[in-house]
Amino acid sequence: RETYDVAAVEARWLPVWEELQPFRADDDSPREKRYALTMFPYPSGDLHMGHAEVFSLHDVVARYWWQRGYEVLNPMGFDSFGLPAENAAIRNDEHPATYTYGNIQTSIESCKHLATSFDWSRTFNTSDPEYYRWTQWLFLKLREQGLAYRKKSPVNWCPNDQTVLANEQVVQGMCERCGAEVTKRDLTQWYFRITNYAQELLDDLDVLAPTWPDRVVTAQRNWIGRSEGAHVDFAVPGRDEPLTVYTTRPDTLFGATFMVVAADAALAQELVTEEQAPALASYLEEVRKASEIDRLATDRPKTGVYLGVDAVNPVNGEAIPIWAADYVLADYGTGAIMAVPAQDQRDWDFATRFDLPIVRTVQPPEGWEGEAYVGDGPAVNSANDSVSLDGMGVDEAKRTIIAWLEERGVGRGTVNFRLRDWLLSRQRFWGPPIPIVHCDTCGEVAVPEDQLPVRLPEDLKGADLKPKGVSPLAAAENWVNVECPQCGGPAKRDSDTMDTFVDSSWYFLRYCSPHDDHQAFDTDLVNAWGPCDIYIGGVEHAVLHLMYARFVTKALADMGLVGFREPFAAQLNQGFVINRGKKMSKSLGNGVSLGEQLREYGVDAIRLTLVFAGPPEDDIDWAEMSPSGSLKFLQRAWRLSGDVTSAPGTDPTTGDVGLRRVTHKTVHECGGLIESHRFNVAVARTMELVNATRKAIDSGCGPADPAVREAVEAVAVLLSLVTPYVAEEMWQRLGHEPTVARAGWPVVDEALLVEESVTAVVQVQGKVRGRLEVSPDISESDLEALALADAAVVRAIDGRPVRKVITRAPKLVNVVV
Ligand code: ANZ
Ligand code: ZN
């Protein structure tokens, strides 16, 4: 049997495509525009199986859009700042650029070999000064709007990477990158005021929900963590300021029997009496060692110290003690709570541990034997001279007490968010320097826009970059010491760099005008291409990157620089490529090398295997895949193109109607399947078309029938989305010029989609009692069910028990009673 040489085919078409550039997005094209985006990689080595998977899935969509006649922007670049390159540079005693740009070159070659339809004329790397110049510009723009600021506060600190981390980068108390346990440090850091957009970020999730994966929407909702409650002011005798708490249960105010302040909040220091100060100090030392997760854990024994002062409960005038403890967090709400042990289990545990009073203010259900009761129920013990909540349910009681507090000016209803401002400064080298100069006279001074980029010094490498707790840039004297842009006096550059998430928070805008050296992006072009019609990538970015990109888009929209408020209209998260049921890893020795697979089976077979494996969201266990089976199928499809004997351009309408129906139905269905991201099913349909065509050639209408040419051309176009090399090869054998990738989607003849039907005869006791119009490929069981439900048949059976049904689909049903 004739087979084609995979390697020769790859070598033949790559240069042809390089020459033709079929996927260059034309800004001025009159066609409707589509923007297909896939998450750009960190260049931490060559591409691996996971990249091959996501790029293959993504390519189906991008190539489909081209075939459907859209002008498609499908760019690719590299998220090339960050720790992997910096750590490699320290290990290998070199500059991070060496590692970074070497890997980028390798990855680009691999992407091209994979026949991805990226438009390489628009590529960039976030570590290029021409790019990070604009990341610095973005920082200054946000700062101009009051959305970037510096503050000192306890921050997450990774003792291993020696840098601060955003809350989002702390996973279960561990550093997201290296797994080390995260501790807290008091540091002055830069923040973006993402919390200004908390409500909008939440609301717009409703708009995105139909086209975003559920798990991403849920993760974002939880991260934003909106809750409704109240601020309540407790007077502290001898202090001007009241102690304000945030509570979601103002209805339980009569049961507040003590207060707790976060031990590490400044507030604790302000409140503590001289007598109790040493106790607080020694307690604080313990607290600093615990991670946030531990601190919030409900099953942990409660610890704390009395601060020596009392507050006054505004509803009953009772003096209640103020404690400091670690289960209250410094950076949530006001950093202080009113403790209601009867309705909150952590408060209950604390009260029993330190012998503090417990007063129930919500009546638990009959027979209740638990401790704190958090459910609904009638309020009790909740009345004073001017208000009574007794008998009210939780919601009514909340509304009533908030109104009472507001009337007296000692509280107000509020909304609270779990979302914190985005901590963006890092004490590492390989990132965009923060474009700020610190001057003793002028304070913080922005580097003027025309002096951007603030370039990284090129003479630091290897050990110079070792984490020291302060940025390695601080030690680069020549670099750090500058003239103040405002007064000309001696000043110092800010030596922190920005987190890589800043780089990737706006990169999709840059692709619209990637070479513009006057501005970060061209607003008109961004509005013409954007927002992204699809964004394909890993679910690990469900919170971080996606939240930041959404925030930056909204902020830029408010500055009038972007004409939309959500960057990614639709989203798809691919599953993982695993092996033998486990995630691939060095320690398990179950890694699969993409390079080896490509050498053995060729690009097409690997791409086909990845797309055909199952729904794109599902994990792919490589051990269960058969790339050799994929290759066999491709050889079969390819052989069809050699069998066609009619000339190119032959009118198909005179061809075999049976095969034509299959072809048109397949093309039609594949379109819908791809649009609903069921790529694997589209491949299955294509395989069926290949089989039907083979049958038509060998034992049907024969190879000269124009319907055969029509079918094989459709196969080539369908395969061009998944297996570009073999599709191109088929297209050429069919007598066409390259490239099949831009051949256009076959026009479906609607008339051929109309189902043929056949007449099935239904007999009861041998007599014809009914006739049914059914599909020719109806199953025996469906036909039997239809027959037994037919009114005439039911009448003929007349309630007698059915003894036997003989069905010969699609023509005959015989019922014996
Ligand atoms: C009194 C109360 C009574 C509360 C009750 C709950 C139940 P969410 O929903 O997450 O916003 N809280 C407030 N600030 C805190 C902090 N900095 N650290 C730890 N806990 C804090 O939770 C709000 C509730 O968490 C608040 O309502 C407060 O306890 C606690 F029966 O106030 B509650
Ligand atoms: Zn100055």
What does the pLDDT look like over 576-586, one tens digit per residue? 999 999 999 88
Tens of pLDDT, residue by residue over 719-762, are 999 999 999 999 999 999 999 999 999 999 999 998 777 889 99
Closest atom, ligand 1, to C-alpha of 248:
27
8 A C-beta contact, residue 644 and residue 734: yes
Residue with the smallest CA separation from ligand 1 atom 20 is 328
pLDDT surpassing 80 at residue 469: no
Q: Which ligand is nearest to the CA of 489?
A: 2
Terminal CA-CA length for the chain = 56
Q: Is the CB of 344 under 6 A from ligand 1?
A: yes
Query: What pLDDT is attached to residue 443?
Result: 96
Partnered with residue 498 across adjacent β-strands are 425
Model pLDDT, residue 303:
94
Strand, coil or helix: 399: helix
- Ligand located closest to 255 CA: 1
192 CA to centre of ligand 2 in angstroms: 24
Q: Which atom of ligand 1 is nearest to the CA of 296?
A: 19
Mean pLDDT in residue range 514-529: 98
Task: State in Å: Cα 447 to ligand 2 middle.
Answer: 11
ipTM of the complex: 0.93
Whose alpha carbon is nearest atom 2 of ligand 1? 249
- Tell me the three state secondary structure of residue 412: strand
Ligand 1 pocket check for 73: Cβ under 6 Å: no
Closest C-alpha to 65, from 23, 30, 26 = 23
Q: What is the mean pLDDT of residues 664-674?
A: 97
Is 143 a residue whose pLDDT tops 70? Answer: yes
Among all bound ligands, the one having the nearest atom to the CA of 483 is 2
Residue 291 binned pLDDT confidence (cut-offs 50, 70, 90): low
- Which whole number is the average pLDDT over 241-262? 97
Any idea which residue has 């049961």 for tokens?
A: 255
Average pLDDT (486-513) is: 97
Residue 141: which H helix or E strand, with range?
A: helix 129-144
CA 187, 189, 195, 196 dihedral sign is positive
pLDDT at 630: 98
Least Cα distance to 546 among 562, 559, 531 occurs for 531
How many angstroms is it from 131 CA to the middle of ligand 2?
Answer: 28
Alpha-carbon gap, residue 779 to 627, rounded angstroms: 33
Q: What's the confidence (pLDDT) of residue 14?
A: 97
- What distance in angstroms lies between residue 247's CA and the mean position of ligand 1's atoms? 5
> Bigger pLDDT: 311 or 427?
311
More confident residue, 588 or 510: 510
* 774-784 confidence digits (pLDDT tens): 888 888 998 99
pLDDT of residue 347: 97
51 residue type, one letter: H
CA distance 757 to 776: 6
**Cβ(332) to ligand 1 under 6 A?**
yes
**Distance of alpha carbon 204 from alpha carbon 568, whole angstroms:** 12
Ligand 1 pocket test: pick from 228, 334, 344, 359 the residue with the most ligand atoms within 8 Å of its Cβ. 344
Residue ranges for the binding site for ATP? 586
> Using a 6 Å cutoff on CB, does residue 329 contact ligand 1?
yes
Predicted confidence at residue 299, as pLDDT, reads 75
Q: Residue 96: pLDDT above 80?
A: yes
Please state, for a pLDDT cut of 70, what percent of the chain lies above it.
99
For 815, list phi and psi in degrees, rounded to 5. Answer: -105, 130
Distance CA 79, CA 500 (A): 8
Distances from the Cα of 579 to the Cα of 45, 592, 760, angstroms: 20, 8, 50
Dist CA 627 CA 606 (whole Å): 6
Q: pTM score > 0.80 for this model?
A: yes
Which string of DSSP letters, residue by residue, matches 789-811?
H-HHHHHHHTTPPP-EEEEETTT
Average pLDDT on 141-169 reads 88
The gap from C-alpha 684 to its chain's centroid, in whole angstroms, comes to 28
Over residues 253-281, the mean pLDDT reads: 96
pLDDT score of 293: 61
**Tens-place pLDDT, residues 754-768:** 877 788 999 999 899
Q: Is 328 close to ligand 1, i.e. is its CB under 6 Å away?
A: yes
State the average pLDDT over residues 341-368: 96
Q: Which residues are annotated as a binding site?
A: 586
Distance CA 715, CA 696 (A): 14
In sign, the C-alpha dihedral spanning 141, 142, 144, 149 is negative
Report the mean per-residue pLDDT for the chain: 94
Q: What is the pLDDT of residue 554?
A: 98
Give the Å distance between the CA of 518 and the centre of ligand 2: 27
Select from 576, 575, 568, 522 the least CA-distant residue to 545: 568
Confidence band of 292 (pLDDT split at 50, 70, 90)? low
What are the backbone angles phi and psi of residue 148, rounded to the nearest 5°? -130, 130
Stretch 308-333: mean pLDDT, rounded? Answer: 95
Mean pLDDT of 523-527: 98
Interval 660-678 mean pLDDT: 97
- Chain segment 390-422, per-residue pLDDT in tens: 999 999 999 999 999 999 999 999 999 999 999
Closest atom of ligand 1 relative to the 343 alpha carbon: 31
Which are the contacts of 313, defined by CB distance < 8 A and separation ≥ 6? 234, 253, 254, 256, 319, 320, 338
Sign of the C-alpha dihedral, residues 539, 530, 68, 7? negative
Quickly state the pLDDT bin for 216 (edges 50, 70, 90): very high
> Out of 42-51, 459-468, 575-584, 604-613, which region has the weakest mean confidence (pLDDT)?
459-468
The lowest-confidence range among 162-171, 428-437, 496-505, 668-677 is: 162-171
C-alpha of residue 439 to centroid of ligand 2, in Å = 5
Burial 634-643 (b: 16+ CB within 10 A, else e): bbbbbbbbeb
Q: How far is the CA of 769 from the centre of ligand 1 (A)?
A: 73
Across 45-73, average pLDDT: 97
Comparing CA positions, the residue from 546, 520, 526 lying closest to residue 535 is 546
User: Do the Cβ atoms of 562 and 530 come closer than 8 Å?
Assistant: yes
